[in-house]
Structure 1
Amino acid sequence: MKNKLDAYSLNVKFAENVIGELSLNKETGLPKLEYNNDWQQSGFAISPSLTLDNDHHNPVAYNFLDNILPEGDARLLLAERAGVSEKNVFSQIREIGGDLSGAVTFTTNSIEQEAVQPAFRLLSKDELESRLDTKEYTGLLTWDDKPRLSVAGVQDKLNVFINENGEIGFGDGALCSTHILKFEKKNCLNLVLNEYFCMKLSVAVGLPTAEVEFVRFGKHPALLVRRFDRKFVSDKKQVFRRHVIDGCQALNLPRDFKYERNLGDNRDVQHIRDGASLPKLFEFSKSMSSPAQSAQWLINWQLFNLIISNYDSHGKNVSLFWGKDNSSFTPAYDLVNIAMFSQFKYVLAMAMGDEFDPNDINAYQLADFAETCAIDKKLLARSLSNLTKKVTSTLTAGTFVQDLIKSNDFTEEEQLYIDQLKDNIVVRAQYLNSQTSMISTIEV
């Protein structure tokens, strides 16, 4: 590695320590990540394929970086701000490398020389409401001429820091973001409410789930998500980070491969399934700290997604805590009932066995899923039976929905939507429960 950074290199930091260097190959345009000697001796690979021996090809670093950058319009705006193409991940990392998912940051020499003092920029409700009124035209990427959005995903999101007084703003220096604000677009009415309900339901049935709140800024509903890779310690005025990677990073896939049918669903390419898949994730779980516990987490995650009709549970909607001595799945996130939105395609992001049509999932496809992913069929049937019964009893008992309504200022229209969402999930749970007794008897 070079001793001095130039325009084509960045420091790679873990916590406060420089662990390596990210450089850009001028000829190929691909980034290269190399660990320094100290980290090779005492650290760990920050992603499975970014091995400590530095003997990994440039596309590995590209895939890792590609997955921690925003997607959709935010990615285009970020690239436009940097004056580069969307595929130039190195230049985009230069822009927002200080507050990415996980514990790794990327800094230049100029940033290294700045004092890393905690700085808080208050974001008033009025200012945010005003910005949300025009977000369809101005976006949410840049504030005070500084890019703020750095969370992967296509939904409108904003990284924010919440201090000990509950004030929302932007953190700099030792104060990186602690929460994510998620908003809905005009063509996705009630998306925030939908996700809030599904996330709270996941908690109610005992599944590890990210903490969320339903909030409003004027007429704009928002989902406030507490980041599970951050912890603010107020007396030290510092946010501590925990390293995480998503499913695509774990599998060394670019973000375009987050769907199993990585080339799409058209007839001439739908047979190509090189993207993230359930068999690949279950196979990877065998290498984690607790293979049995990890496999059970994946089973519960996929079954709950089926129950709530979250067809978009792709490779980037599952993440792992990743460290030197431990690897485990993070709490679940991005849980949405897609069946409540007619504008979306009803296609599974990752197949159950060989089936991508959610309306054709029955005992046979569940048995196929078990065989494909090397899951004991009796275990799968038992897990599905337990989960569907928990979901049904939680939603039909009445207290769950009543408590949500009492703790939030929902409008009559929103309460009606909640009832429709509840009924949709109950019907789905009851149907899937009816399939459980046949799973273990089917030979695929």
Structure 2
Amino acid sequence: MKTLGLLHVVIGNRQVGTLNRSGRTLSLTYSADARNDTDAVPLSTRFPLSVRRHKGTDLENWLRCILPERPELLAAWRRRLGLTDLSLFTLLTHVGEEVAGAAQFVRPDRLDEVLSHPGGLTNVDSDQIADLLRQAQLDIPSYDEQARLGHFSLAGMQPKIALQRRDEQWWLPAGREPSTHILKALSESVPDSDVVEALTTRIAGRLGLPTARVTLGQFGSQRATVVERFDRRWNADHRHWVRIHQEDMCQALGLAHKYQSEGGPAPHEVADLLRRVSAEPETDVRAFARLLIFNTLTLGTDAHARNYSLLLSPSGVRLAPAYDLNSLLAVLAAPRPEIQLSMSVGRRYHAAAITQRDWEDCATYLGIPAQWILTERDRQRDLLVTAFERSMEDQDLRSINSPAFDRMRAGLNRAS
């Protein structure tokens, strides 16, 4: 069958293989050099370097996860770029150079520049960033096709942009230069969404949970959630940012759906995966269990499998820090018993109905001692209010007057 397209797959500034389209079939083929290189990183734990060629539904599901979920944005890309289709391959041809993790999907005519050119940075000021955020809210593609600036694909539903932070300034990156921060525009569906995410993340951090660094940003008239990417690392010797590869749990498990009740991963499947691939499996399983407890106590109803990730590096695979943490307690004026979680505890999705027996069953499914999970649940519950009050002392949170704070305080008092 005639090959209709090819994209080079670059990870860590090395070409590890190709993504090929033949008819309607996509395939990933690793190069011989990558397969024999002990420092090479695979595209996914599901697609090991020991197997030269991968194809099928798992690959398509994996690629779909690095593209936005917003139909409006995908339609806008189609209009802006004059695309005749919205296939995975076609979209990656245009936006595949800056996605989650370290993978870059590069057109043949761009490969030499991506591998050998240092890349480019264009300085943007506060008002320009505000314009980019407004464009994101309106689903207007905000990159320059000729200069390939701001050429990114950010997964998820919330409008967002990607920038690099360097020398106390903001920059639009291109080519080899990666973004270092994700800036999320305010959500229309969640009032003060930036406050809710920053506050929830701070509380988790003060409970000892590894989290991404989240701050509040003001750019002209636009507020935004500013998330420091945990899949980037500063190389002090060469003074440049390095991409670290990652994949979410849906990608690693080869599943298309992110919510457990709709066929997405269950907690025990995540735990089983961590025991298979993690360099420190028991540490990571317990870290995942801590996050599951936290999201249950704080009504983190959007803590689905795509909001848990793996970091892949030559030294091994580890559970990534927590990100996209949000609490419905900061949104609800009063408790609602019908609210469901994204992942079950035992067999229950309704947080209000979860009993000690459900937590014991959860421990059994995760393969950890029941007493450990009960002790950790009690520890977090006892410290929630204190963690909240300490977080409220942070300058960026104190500078905003939001009803979300009072709702969160009341909700945490009920939870504890």
Q: Quote the offset at 1:7 in angstroms.
A: 5.6
Tell me if structure 2 keeps the 8 A contact 1:161–1:178.
yes
Equivalent position amino acid for 1:150 in 2 = S
Tell me if structure 1 keeps the 8 A contact 2:186–2:225.
no
In structure 1, list runs of 5 or more residues that go unmatched.
Answer: 263-273, 431-444
Q: In 2, distance between residues paired with 1:382 and 1:427? A: 19
Name 1:332's counterpart in structure 2: 322
Q: Does residue 1:175 correspond to 2:177, yes or no?
A: yes
Q: In 1, distance between residues paired with 2:69 and 2:212? A: 21
The C-alpha deviation readout for 1:284-319, integer Å capped at 9, x for no partner, is 111121121011111101011112110111110001
Q: Secondary structure at the match of 1:286?
A: helix
Name 2:9's counterpart in structure 1: 12
Tell me if structure 2 keeps the 8 A contact 1:19–1:38.
yes
Q: In 2, distance between residues paired with 1:69 and 1:24? A: 17
Tell me if structure 2 keeps the 8 A contact 1:141–1:149.
no
Q: Quote the offset at 1:371 in angstroms.
A: 2.5
Q: Does residue 1:379 correspond to 2:372, yes or no?
A: yes
Q: In 2, distance between residues paired with 1:80 and 1:194? A: 34
When residues 384 and 179 of structure 1 are mapped into structure 2, their CA distance, relative to the original with a 3 A threshold, is: same
Q: Does residue 1:278 correspond to 2:277, yes or no?
A: no
Percent identity over the alignment? 22
Q: In 1, distance between residues paired with 2:19 and 2:135? A: 37
Tell me if structure 1 keeps the 8 A contact 2:8–2:105.
yes
Q: In 2, distance between residues paired with 1:135 and 1:289? A: 38
Q: Which moved more, 1:139-148 or 1:305-314?
A: 139-148
Q: Which moved more, 1:316-325 or 1:142-151?
A: 142-151
Q: In 1, distance between residues paired with 2:387 and 2:265? A: 32
Name 1:296's counterpart in structure 2: 286
Q: In 1, distance between residues paired with 2:84 and 2:343? A: 32
The 5 A counterparts of 1:32-111 are 32-42=27-37, 43-52=40-49, 53-72=51-70, 73-82=72-81, 83-86=83-86, 88-111=87-110
Tell me if structure 1 keeps the 8 A contact 2:285–2:366.
no
Name 2:165's counterpart in structure 1: 162
The C-alpha deviation readout for 1:143-196, integer Å capped at 9, x for no partner, is 3345634121111111111112x2112111331101100122333211110000
In structure 2, list runs of 5 or more residues that go unmatched.
Answer: none
Q: Quote the offset at 1:122 in angstroms.
A: 1.8
Equivalent position amino acid for 1:141 in 2 = P
Counterpart pick for 2:413 among 423, 426, 433 = 426
Q: In 2, distance between residues paired with 1:236 and 1:226? A: 20
Q: Quote the offset at 1:365 in angstroms.
A: 2.1
Name 2:207's counterpart in structure 1: 205
Q: TM-score, normalised by structure 2?
A: 0.89
Q: Quote the offset at 1:132 in angstroms.
A: 4.0
Q: Secondary structure at the match of 1:144?
A: coil
Equivalent position amino acid for 1:118 in 2 = G
Q: In 2, distance between residues paired with 1:134 and 1:324? A: 38
Q: Which moved more, 1:74-83 or 1:37-46?
A: 74-83
Q: Does residue 1:224 correspond to 2:226, yes or no?
A: yes
Q: Does residue 1:358 correspond to 2:351, yes or no?
A: yes
When residues 372 and 204 of structure 1 are mapped into structure 2, their CA distance, relative to the original with a 3 A threshold, is: same
Q: Quote the offset at 1:48 in angstroms.
A: 2.0
Q: Secondary structure at the match of 1:68?
A: coil
| Cα RMSD after superposing both structures | 2.5
Q: Quote the offset at 1:242 in angstroms.
A: 1.0
The C-alpha deviation readout for 1:1-55, integer Å capped at 9, x for no partner, is x9xxx860011112222111110021xx131001011211223533122132135
Q: In 2, distance between residues paired with 1:132 and 1:46? A: 30
Q: Secondary structure at the match of 2:216?
A: strand
Q: Secondary structure at the match of 2:247?
A: strand
When residues 317 and 76 of structure 1 are mapped into structure 2, their CA distance, relative to the original with a 3 A threshold, is: farther
Name 1:439's counterpart in structure 2: none
Q: Quote the offset at 1:409 in angstroms.
A: 5.8
Tell me if structure 2 keeps the 8 A contact 1:214–1:224.
yes
The C-alpha deviation readout for 1:51-102, integer Å capped at 9, x for no partner, is 321353322221221111222143443355452544x111111111211111
The C-alpha deviation readout for 1:219-271, integer Å capped at 9, x for no partner, is 422111111111244773532111111111111112xx111122xxxxxxxxx
Tell me if structure 1 keeps the 8 A contact 2:195–2:397.
no
Q: Quote the offset at 1:117 in angstroms.
A: 3.0
Q: In 1, distance between residues paired with 2:390 and 2:209? A: 18
User: Hey, which of these two has a bigger chunk of strand by percent?
Assistant: 2
Q: Quote the offset at 1:338 in angstroms.
A: 2.3
Q: In 2, distance between residues paired with 1:100 and 1:423? A: 38
Q: In 2, distance between residues paired with 1:20 and 1:133? A: 37
